[in-house]
Structure formats: C-alpha cells, structure tokens
Structure 1
Amino acid sequence: MKYYSSLLLLVILFSCSSPSNEKKGADVKPNILLLIGDDIAFGDLGVYGSEINTPNFNRLAESGVRFTNFHASPVCSVTRSMLMTGCNNIEIGLGSFDYSFYPASKGKPGYEGYLTDNAVTMSQLFNDQGYEVFKVGKWHLGGEEAGGYGPMHWGFTKEFGILSGGSNHWNNLRMTPIFSDPDFMNKKFEEHWTLNGEKYDRPNGVYSGELYTNQMLSFIKEAHKEGKPWFSWMAFTTAHFPIQAPPELVEKHYEFYLKHGYEGLKQFRYERLKEKGLISHSAAPASENSLVKKWDQLSDDEKKYQAKVFATYAAEIEDQDNRIGQLLDYLKSSGQLENTMIVYLSDNGPEGMEAENPNTGNEVFGEWIAKNYDTSFEAIGTANSSNYIGTAWANAATGGLSWWKWFIGEGGVRVPMIIVPPGATKENYKRAGELSNAVMSVKDLPMTILDYAGIQHPGSNYKGKTVQAPSGISARPFLDGESDIVRNDNQWYAFELFGNAYIMKGNYKLIKVRKGMFGDGEWHLYDVVKDPSESKPLEKEMPDRYKDMLSLYKGYEKEHQLVQVDEAWNAFKAASD
C-alpha cells in the first residue's frame, strides 16, 4: 500500500510539472539569422538553377521554402530600408538614395536618401524585448557624410563593418573615389570602418566574407554564453563590385564562362530555371537588350578577360555559400539551429554598371580606375583590381528575366529568397523543401520575422512618438500551412524610384519605365508568374484590370506626393555628378 501511495504521488507531481516544462519551452525566444546577399541575381545560386555549386544554400532550401516571386527594390539601400521597417521606401526617407538624386526631389520629405527617424526598425523592437541585436557587414542606411544615423542609433547592441554601399574586399579602401576632392583622380581613398560605433582599423589581406563571418560568430557566441536570444543582420558585400575573390575559388569557374559567353550563359540559366520549376515552363526567353554587347563582338583576349571577371564573381558567390555554411555548422554544434529562424535574400538584381558605357556608367569613374588600379588579366580578383561584371554578364545572370540592378524589370527586382522558420530543421516541417511562386514583397519580411518572434509591432505610435505604420504583411499563415498565398488579390503593393514605377496585384504587374531609363514611358501589364520575362503585354486583353491597377497606383502616387521626374532624365548620369 505504501508502495502504491508513493507511486501515485510521483504521478501527481509529474503531471503538475509537465505543463510548466512545456510552457518554459514555449517561452524560449527564437534567434533570428537574417542573411543579405549583395547584387546577386535570381539565377546566381545553385539552388536557383545556377551552375555555381552552393551546397549550403541547398541546406537552407531543404529545410525551408524557396520563393520564386519575391520582389526587392532595384537598388540596395532602398531595399534595406523596407526590410528594416516594413514600410514603403518613400515613407522613410529612401525615395532616393545617396548615389543618385533627381535634382527636384532634394529637400522634399521622403527623399532624404537615408533612413529617417519617423521609422521604427526591427532592430529597435528586438532590443526592446531584451535581444542582443547584431549588425555585421554593409549598412548603407545613413551615417557619416551620407546624413542620418549609423546602426547603434537604431537599437543594435553590437555592430561591425561599413556604413557605405560597398568597399574593397581585401583592404580598407573605398570602392569609389570622393569626387568632391579636387585631386581625386590621383589617389585612392580609405573606407570608414567601425566596431560598435568606434573607428576600426581593418586588417589587410583578409577577405570580406571571412572578416564579416568571424565577427558575427564572435557576437553570437557571446550572446549564447550569456544565455540571451539574438537577432542578427548579416549583410555580406559579395557579390558587389569591385569583383574580387579568393584565387583558389576563381579558376574552377573560368572555362565554363569562356565556353558559354554572354548569350550561352543566359540560355543555360533560362533552361535550368524552367527545368527546375523556378519559372513557368511556358515562360518565353527574355527579349534581346540593345544595351548589351554580343560575345562574338569581343576579341579572344577580351573574351578571356571577361570570362575571368565573371569567374571571380562566381567565386564571390561560392565564398558567401561557404561562410553561410560556417554559421550553420556553428549553430548546429552549439544546439541553436533548431531554435533559429533563418532568412536569406539578395537586395536587388546584378549590377550592370560599366564605367566606360555612356548609357549605364560614369566615364570619369572609369578613368579613375584605370589610373589607380591594375587592369591586367593577371590582377583580376586581387586587392589592386577594380572590375565590375557589366551589362552583358548582368543580363545573362538573370536567365529568363529582363534587365538588372537599377531597373524595375523582373531582373532588377526579382531575387532569391529563402525562409527557414524556427524549428524547421527538426525535419518535421511540412513545407520543408517547397518551391513557391506566392507573391511577396521585401516589406513583408520584417512583419514575418516579428510574428515568429512573438513581437507586436506598435503601429503608428512608438514610445509616445508618432511613426510610420508598416504596410508589410506577415507570411506566417502561409509558412505554417494555413494558407496557400501570402497576399490576396486585394493586398497590392506599389513602388517608385527615379520616376519608374510598378504595382503588383496578385500575379499581375503594371509597370512604367521612362525613356531616360530606356523604356517607352507607357504603362504595360504582365502576368509575371506565367511571363517572368515580361514579353507579353496584356493591357489590351485585360483593360479592366489595367484601369483598376493604374487607378490604384495614381492614388498611391498622390497620397505619397511623389516628385514627377522629367521623361529624359538619366539616373546613371546623375550618379556621376
């Protein structure tokens, strides 16, 4: 009897303790690993059909969901502002950005060129919840001469990297000169590096991917040791120009690009994208672009040079994959992987700038490179080189899409994006390994991340201050299998930059590109799921949808007091002023 009484007592005690233990587990806050690639095309990753082997991106895709109809903005700082806040770019200071201003927009609200204080960022909200909040790599949202503020102003507890849009991958030099310096043509300039808001002396000879990853691992290890949850903004500068990479990664890619050239690579990736279901099987190839050189127009030496440049670009992507692998391996070995939400995206399509190109470049910048860097074949990828992939490779990189960075065609704004919800790596996540063409905007990502972290956005009032409420939508219902879509047909979003604009409603995109940016200045309607190359305009077939979407955009334009841009204005020429 005494034995049974003791057994009953144990059962009662166990029953009482179980809910408490479950609650304790449920209260554990998820970590967030937000990974941002720089100028990486929709077709650049192996897991998105590329010839470049990216096994660690595969690991993410196998655990989570790959999105094939995700839209960023066509330029990096504008995307980052929306990613930080869930707001439209014009609402938070990035109606233009520091490298290019339309003259009439200067001084107008929304066109400051940096993240403004009427925004609330994810980093602030995570800080408020007791998270360690880390930024490593590129910032490009303000600070120093750009105006605005650096990361520590926005709730980051620790930070490391650069404030600008990019830098040399091997040393502390800027990627561009300071044009206002009267003697800029005759010298190189140092980049401003910081560690926790203080000036940092960047070591020479350490590749950017290694430097950034090691610092992020150091931050995460400190938080783990202290038992604190963490949010990390891991912003690589690969594959942004200057195109530089570890030499041991370059050679393996060279022969492929020498053999295929511009047109061959675009065709190869177009076919792979269709074959793997990343674009519609009925998708037409992208139309030829008059700005793009032909491979057979190059001499043999020029072909070899260009092949090595793009092989170096591929090596940048491979290095990024390796660095992500380092992070994943540490999280797994330290027991944190299952409780970490992981999101990867590129900030825009590939950079098509060519310094010597009068249409899409800056000839003065090209002269500066020629005078200050080694432009030989042997130097490609080294610290003393400064190359860019240019329009032809950028056009090829997108495979079945048209245009590239700076442009609002799908090649400029449709980018790779993968979400691995917390717990998905336990191998029981029902959407693991899925490919989805659900329409999604970059401003939906912060709302999704906050949702999984259990953090309520304050809306339009933050700590007694009126702020811009976000218009992003959480994708959690979709990711949790409760819905087949992220946005319904009425949850449209609009975007404008440099006077070029589009609106997405369901699978349909209404787009206008000015003549000064090589468009025709007219609005065109496309079903970008069936027709990702935007080759089959539908405005005549669907006049009601066309009128409805145009009316919605005009309302958006009026509400946000968008500055009207002259039809002939060229943003590339402005960037060189």
Structure 2
Amino acid sequence: MNRSPLAIALAFLCLPLVLSNGVHAADPPKPNVLLILADDLGFSDLGCYGGEINTPNLDSLAENGLRFTQFYNTARCWPTRGSLMTGYYAQQIRRDTVPGIPSGGNGVRPDWAVLVPRMLQEVGYRSYHTGKWHIDGMPLENGFDRSYYWKDQGRFFNPTKHWRDDVALPPVAKNSGFYATTAAADHAIDVLAEHARDHADQPFFHYLAFAAPHFPLQALPEDIAHYSDTYTIGWDAIRQQRWQKMRQMGLLDAVGVTELSRVERDLGPPYHFPDAFEKLGDGEINRPVPWKELTDSQKAFQSQKMAIHAAMIHRMDIEIGRVFEQIKSMGQWDNTIVMFLSDNGASAEIMVRDDGHDPNAPMGSAETYLCLGPGWSTACNTPFRRHKTWTHEGGCSTPLLVSWPNGIKAAGEFRNSPGHVIDVVPTLLDLSGASRPFRAPAAPGKSIVPAFEKETDLGHDELWWFHDGHKAIQVGKWKAVAPIAEPWELYDLSNDRDESNDLAVIHADKLNELVSRWEQRMAEHTELATQDLPAKVRSNVRSGVTSQNPVMKKAQDDARPKRSQVLLGGENKMIAGRHAFLMKPTAAADTDDGKPWIFYGPTLSRYPDQAESWMHQQFLDAGVAVAGIDVGEMYGSPLALPFFDALYDDMVAQGYSRRPALLGRSRGGLWVSSWALSHPDRVAAIGGIYPVYDYTTYPGAQRAATAYGKTPEELMAQQDQLNPVKRLGKLSEAKIPVLIIHGTNDQVVPIEQNSEALVAAYRENNAADLVQLIKADGQGHSFWEGFFHSQELVDFLIDQANAREGARLRK
C-alpha cells in the first residue's frame, strides 16, 4: 500500500505522543531467566573455579559474565531449594528443622511462602521446571506451567518415580538408553521450543535442577573413560593442583583465603552406616587419609569413583550446552540471564540404597551404588573445610555464575561480596518488576543486581545457618560456627576464610556477641515459622519437644568425631562452652580445704593419652581427682585464663579443694605456669613432664603470637610481661613447690631454657629447697616410660594435693 508524504509525516508527529503514553512496545523486554542448580557440586569442581573437569559451557558463563567467590547455600539440598524458590531462610518456612514443630525435609510451607513462579506469573512470565524438586507440593500447583519432576535420584539410568506436569509416569525400563542428565536437557529443550512456538511474546523462567553429581555415582561409560587416568595421582595431589590453579586465577585473592585449609584426617561421613562398607568391599575408606597410605586396590577403587564424579559433571556441562544452543536458536540468548549454582558442597556421605550395589558390575553402572566419600569431597571443596551438611565453608560455600549479555558488560570479573541463595528471589523480582504477595513478611535476601555493574556490598547485615544441629552466623568479617554438640568456633574471614585459626578463646567477647545474635535469629525464625500453627503445636516449641529419625540420629551420633582422650572412669562436660573432663576416684580423699584434685594440662582432643594412664590411676587410687579444660592451642596466653578460672570455680562448687596441684606435660607447662602466675594463692604445687615455660622455644613466637593477640614482633618485645619463663620468680616468692622430670637431650623443649630456667629462678630467690628437677639422661621429647611412671612425681603430686597433712579417705 502506498502512503502519501503527508500521512507519513503525521505518523512521525504522533510517535512521541504514543511513546509518552506508555505503549509497551517502547519498554525494554523483560529478561528471560535460566536458573541452573547442580546437586552436591564442590566449590572447585568447575574449570572456572580451579578444577580439572572439562566444563567449557559453564566456563563460558564465567568468561562472559561474573564469578561470585563468596556465595552461600544452606549446606543441604532440600533447605537450599526451599530458600532458593522463596527467598526466606529454610527455618522461616519450615523447610529445615525447627525444634518442636513439624519441619525439615517433610515440612509444609506457610501459605504466604509462595514460590517464585507465582510472583513472576503476575508480570507475564511463563515458568518451567525440569529435574529434581525436593520442595513440598508439586510443581504445577506451585506456579510452574510445565514440569518434568524426577524424584528417584537413586537411579540415573532407570528411575521408577517421575512425573510430567504433575502426572505420574511409568518406571523407566533398565537398559533403555535413558540417562537422567540427558533427559533433563531433552525436557528443557522441548519446553523452550514450545515456548518459542506458542508463547514467544512472553518472557520465560526455567528452573533446571540437575541431580548430578549427587550419589549414586552413575555415569555414561564414554564419559567415565575420559577421566579414567586423571585421578590415579590421588586426592592430595588433585587438591594441591586445584589450589595452585585458583591462585593463578586470583580467584580468592580478595576473600581472605591465603592458604589451604587443614585436612581433617579424623573426620569422615556425616552419618555412619556400617553395613555399607560390607557391601562396598575393601576398596572403600571413610577417612581422608594421606593417599600414600592406601593399598593399591583402594587407590584403584577411589580413583575410579572420582572419575565417575567428574564424568557426571562433564555430562551435565555438555547437556547445559545443548540448552544454551536452544535459547540461542530462539534469538533469546542476549536477553536471557543464566544463573548457575549448587545446593551445597561436595558430599562425604557413604551409603548404599535403592537397587543396592553389585561389586561385580562395572563401576558407575546402574547396578552399582557408590558415593564420593570424604577423601575426594575434601578435594572437591578445595580450599575449604568440611563437607555437605556442615556449616563450615566447605559445606555451604559453592560457585555462582551469572551471565546476561544485554545486562552484564563486566565480562570475566569476580564479585566478592557475600551472598546467599535467599538473594535469588529478590534479584528476580528486581529484574522482572514482580513483587511478593502483600501478606508475606519481610524477607532476608538482597538483590544482587547492583553487582552486575561493579563490585559492591550487597548489604547483608548477617548471614545465618542451622542444619543437622550445625550452627553458624557471619557478621562482617566474623564467622561463628559450631558443629553439633561441639563448642563454638570463631574465624576472621578477612584473612582466614579457610577456617584454620580458631579465635573463639582469643576473642571470646566477639564470639559471645555473635552467639547471642544467632540465638536471637533462631527465636525470630521460630516465631515466624509457627505463627499459623495450632496452639498445641506451638506449645511443643516451648517444651522443647522434637522428633528426629532415630536411625539417622544414631548414624550421625556414631559418625561424629570422638575425642581420643584416655579418661579413667572420667566424665566429659562443657564448661564455659569448652570441653572439660573430670576423672573422679571411687573413694574420694578429703582435706580441710575440700576434696583434693590435680589441674592437668594440656587438655586437647588427644590428651590425656594412654601413656599417662598408669600415673592417673595412681592419683585416683590415692583419692585424688584429675580435671582439665580444653582451650585449644593457647600456649599460656592470658586470654585463656578465664576458662581455667571457670574450671576452677566449677570444681570448687563441687566441693573440691581451693588449692589444687597442677601438672603440665609439654605445652601444658605453659598452661599451668600461666595460671599459677595469675593465681599463686590457688596453687598447692606444680609438677611437670618435659614442660614448656618459654614460648620462644616452643612453639616459637611465630606460632604463639595469634594466641596472645599479638604480632610475633610484639610477642618477642613483651616477654617480660607475657612469657612465663621471665616471671617464674613469682612462683618461688609464693613458696610453691615444684617437681619436674625432663630429658637432657630434648630437642623440642630444651631443658636448659625451660626446666633449668625454673630451677635457676627458684635459686635466685633462695627457694632452691622447694624445687626438684629429675634429669633423664639422654632422653628426648618422647614416650619413654620413665616420664610417665615416675613414682617420685606421682607421690609428690598426691602429697601436695592432699596438703601433706590430715588427708584421709572418705569411704
């Protein structure tokens, strides 16, 4: 049709008026969203986060978008998914345990806790779900327009429980060619193609939730073959390789990671299922022991397990690439935000479920049921500590990749501000213009959209965790974390995000502040979670009534690392939030000042040990108790003294003497001498087995400085005020008797600078008669029996603890 020049001119004159009246054609199109969630993926598994696994499609997101270096989850699959889809902490919506009420994996959300598709629906989005669900309800009834829900995560090749659009599907036959990761991509591609055909005028939100690389480790043979030789060098070497690659990338330069976390060799799976090891055979091992200590058969078994884990991630990346190509073919790539993350860190779990494990079948096939285990999980979570379920960094810190060609121009950059899965919903609401239901309470998440343009603080006042009894809270640079039934730990994430240096004792006031804040949030979350519940249920919260699967509780209790102390008829207890012990005699002696006791140091997870049992039995037989409190490696720092005081007060409150004898073995010499110098009036005597009194000899100023809250230079300069060896004259002035046994060839704790220095201090104060040093000729810092079977030392401590006079046995 021909149009006259006048008509064309009038059309252009009208255009500004049309635009000013808000015609939608002039508004930028709302972005599409592809939200991809992996399952049990470790922090360093992807190539762009330091891993050796081939992940080019996900790496491309990092190259063309953003990598977040401090992004968190809830440390477990189902609470993360509840938080991811609602923007609330899982406890607030009853999707993780709230003591006293129905919650956790079977918890039902309050009506106001709608999932994000319901919110996006209001601004024109169509929403699609593919893969794992693990949220209460079904996908379509929660706002998704299409869904493939795969519930049977125990069978990657032949699931028996799956749904399409909330309608149950028949089981998949074995050997049918089905593989879950590929099937997920197939479904995503199908519904996206349908969207392009039938709903191209609407933006889409696609939630693609893979089960990979969650156990059982099952993968396609051709993918496993790709990694068959990669992991024969072992988990220690792979961990080092990943760490070096991270350092070359500069990945963690800005987030306080200066070294690898220590490998916790005694920490195994979070739950212990002994029958699994019978089914899996001798190749399985439930501790991250040094690779060189494994047998050849164990090395073969373990390296193949990691090859399967890598193959699962490799295949996931391939299938993600297919989905990317589908979006590009629709002409929607530039306006699609892709977010990739994991629900928790790599898993140390070992179990056998579902179809069981056939040890004669090819590893990684449908007939096998394998789990990654703690050796490889430690490597996959490089450089962090611990694993899935724990709230240490290894359990709750995982990758976040964000790409959006139309909206993110800062290609290849890192973002270091702390974020959390609770931030995903507010981000999507920010981008889409959607909002929460009017009745919904305030949510804790923050939009990460400001970080798309530049590095910025996302504005979290705190981040909070509680899962499986493990607790944590992060406020600014400080993170307090407490494993179940263990003391709180404290870390300065600005220089120790690998959680290697526990500052709980050194900064006790800061720890108390964070613990109080954690408890306040727990109370607030509980209140919100119970508002819509009947009064009877709410009363359970006040009464502390709670339910826990007894099988899982026992498995967790059995798996928990045990203190390896050797306590003769002893009891463990918590005093001032620290582990303490008391070995009580069957027939308690009595003095005019109360029951006699010995204050022992060092109390650590492995001390007292078996070498001291004969000695401790002599004390108990004589009616003398032995007690100690674990302050960690504090090396005589005055910051530990309040905890020693707490032990002392507890003992006195139980009727024990106000003047115990003190016994310090090795570093324990710093413990007992520092407390004696602080309270000479509370000390009956001091005994020692190759004791340290000079922190410059052991552990050295470099190691001891942090415990004192000083730099090494400050610690050296302030020895007159802080180093016990410089103040020993105060003990002689207080007339405190001392008996020590020490080897003359001790290279760890030299006798000259330690025990002989104490003797010299007594002599200088004319108190030589109060000190006795037994020299063990030619002995070093060892388990020589003479150190621990010294009758002179034992008799001395018994006599002094009993005040030498008037001691009698209470029958």
RMSD of aligned alpha carbons: 2.9
Return the alpha-carbon distance in structure 2 between the equivalents of residues 350 and 32 of structure 1.
Answer: 26
Once the two structures are TM-superposed, the CA of residue 446 in structure 1 deviates from its matched residue by: 1.1
1:333 pairs, out of 329, 333, 339, with 329
Once the two structures are TM-superposed, the CA of residue 132 in structure 1 deviates from its matched residue by: 1.7
Return the alpha-carbon distance in structure 1 between the equivalents of residues 500 and 545 of structure 2.
Answer: 27
| 2:151 is equivalent to residue 157 of structure 1 | no
Change (3 A) 1:565 1:65: farther
What letter matches 1:394 in structure 2? S
User: Which TM-score applies when normalising by structure 1?
Assistant: 0.81
Q: Secondary structure at the match of 2:376?
A: helix
Once the two structures are TM-superposed, the CA of residue 120 in structure 1 deviates from its matched residue by: 1.7
**Correspondence for 2:297:** 301
Q: 1:244–1:381: 8 Å Cα contact kept in structure 2? A: yes
1:573 pairs, out of 549, 554, 557, with 554
Structure 2: 5+ residue runs without aligned partners?
Answer: 268-286, 527-540, 559-811
Change (3 A) 1:339 1:576: farther
Instruction: Using CA pairs under 8 Å that are at least 6 residues apart, name the structure with larger relative contact order, 1 or 2.
Output: 1
Return the alpha-carbon distance in structure 2 between the equivalents of residues 15 and 62 of structure 1.
Answer: 40
**Correspondence for 1:464:** none
What letter matches 1:430 in structure 2? K
Return the alpha-carbon distance in structure 1 between the equivalents of residues 89 and 294 of structure 2.
Answer: 42
**Correspondence for 1:480:** 453
Change (3 A) 1:500 1:571: farther
2:473 pairs, out of 503, 508, 511, with 503
Change (3 A) 1:11 1:538: same
Q: Secondary structure at the match of 1:536?
A: coil
Matches within 5 A, 1:437-516: 437-458=416-437, 461=439, 467-481=440-454, 484-488=456-460, 491-515=461-485
Return the alpha-carbon distance in structure 1 between the equivalents of residues 157 and 411 of structure 2.
Answer: 37
Q: 1:135–1:159: 8 Å Cα contact kept in structure 2? A: yes
1:456-484: CA deviation from partner (whole Å, max 9, x where unpaired): 2235x1xxxxx444211111122233x61
Q: Secondary structure at the match of 1:83?
A: helix
Matches within 5 A, 1:43-122: 43-96=44-97, 105=99, 107-108=101-102, 112-122=106-116
Once the two structures are TM-superposed, the CA of residue 403 in structure 1 deviates from its matched residue by: 0.5
| 2:139 is equivalent to residue 139 of structure 1 | no
1:110-141: CA deviation from partner (whole Å, max 9, x where unpaired): 78535443412102112233322111100011
| 2:155 is equivalent to residue 168 of structure 1 | yes
Q: 1:120–1:468: 8 Å Cα contact kept in structure 2? A: no
Once the two structures are TM-superposed, the CA of residue 432 in structure 1 deviates from its matched residue by: 2.0
Change (3 A) 1:156 1:576: farther
Change (3 A) 1:133 1:8: closer
Return the alpha-carbon distance in structure 1 between the equivalents of residues 376 and 32 of structure 2.
Answer: 37
| 2:369 is equivalent to residue 374 of structure 1 | no
1:534 pairs, out of 484, 492, 499, with 499
- 37-46 or 20-29: bigger deviation: 20-29
Q: 1:91–1:110: 8 Å Cα contact kept in structure 2? A: no
Matches within 5 A, 1:272-283: 272-280=245-253, 283=258
User: Which TM-score applies when normalising by structure 2?
Assistant: 0.59
Change (3 A) 1:265 1:20: farther
Q: 1:498–1:571: 8 Å Cα contact kept in structure 2? A: no
Once the two structures are TM-superposed, the CA of residue 495 in structure 1 deviates from its matched residue by: 1.5
Q: 1:508–1:527: 8 Å Cα contact kept in structure 2? A: yes
What letter matches 1:151 in structure 2? P
Once the two structures are TM-superposed, the CA of residue 216 in structure 1 deviates from its matched residue by: 1.0
Change (3 A) 1:525 1:34: same
**Correspondence for 1:557:** 522
| 2:191 is equivalent to residue 212 of structure 1 | no
| 2:399 is equivalent to residue 420 of structure 1 | no
Change (3 A) 1:570 1:384: closer
**Correspondence for 2:165:** 196
**Correspondence for 1:400:** 383
Return the alpha-carbon distance in structure 2 between the equivalents of residues 571 and 529 of structure 1.
Answer: 36
Size of the aligned set, in residue pairs, is 509
Q: Secondary structure at the match of 1:313?
A: helix
Once the two structures are TM-superposed, the CA of residue 52 in structure 1 deviates from its matched residue by: 0.8
1:289-327: CA deviation from partner (whole Å, max 9, x where unpaired): 113232223221221121111101101001111111111
Structure 1: 5+ residue runs without aligned partners?
Answer: 97-101, 143-148, 173-190, 356-364, 462-466, 516-520
Q: Secondary structure at the match of 1:120?
A: coil
Once the two structures are TM-superposed, the CA of residue 252 in structure 1 deviates from its matched residue by: 2.1
Q: 1:45–1:53: 8 Å Cα contact kept in structure 2? A: yes
Q: 2:127–2:145: 8 Å Cα contact kept in structure 1? A: yes
Change (3 A) 1:135 1:9: closer
Identity level (%): 28
Return the alpha-carbon distance in structure 1 between the equivalents of residues 193 and 88 of structure 2.
Answer: 32
**Correspondence for 2:409:** 430
| 2:196 is equivalent to residue 230 of structure 1 | no
Q: 2:257–2:498: 8 Å Cα contact kept in structure 1? A: no
State which structure, 1 or 2, has the greater radius of gyration over its C-alpha atoms.
Answer: 2
Change (3 A) 1:152 1:374: same
Return the alpha-carbon distance in structure 1 between the equivalents of residues 463 and 322 of structure 2.
Answer: 36
Q: 2:477–2:492: 8 Å Cα contact kept in structure 1? A: yes
Change (3 A) 1:46 1:570: farther
| 2:235 is equivalent to residue 262 of structure 1 | yes
Once the two structures are TM-superposed, the CA of residue 17 in structure 1 deviates from its matched residue by: 6.7
**Correspondence for 1:360:** none
2:340 pairs, out of 335, 341, 344, with 344
Return the alpha-carbon distance in structure 1 between the equivalents of residues 545 and 337 of structure 2.
Answer: 41
Change (3 A) 1:218 1:106: farther
Return the alpha-carbon distance in structure 1 between the equivalents of residues 410 and 478 of structure 2.
Answer: 25
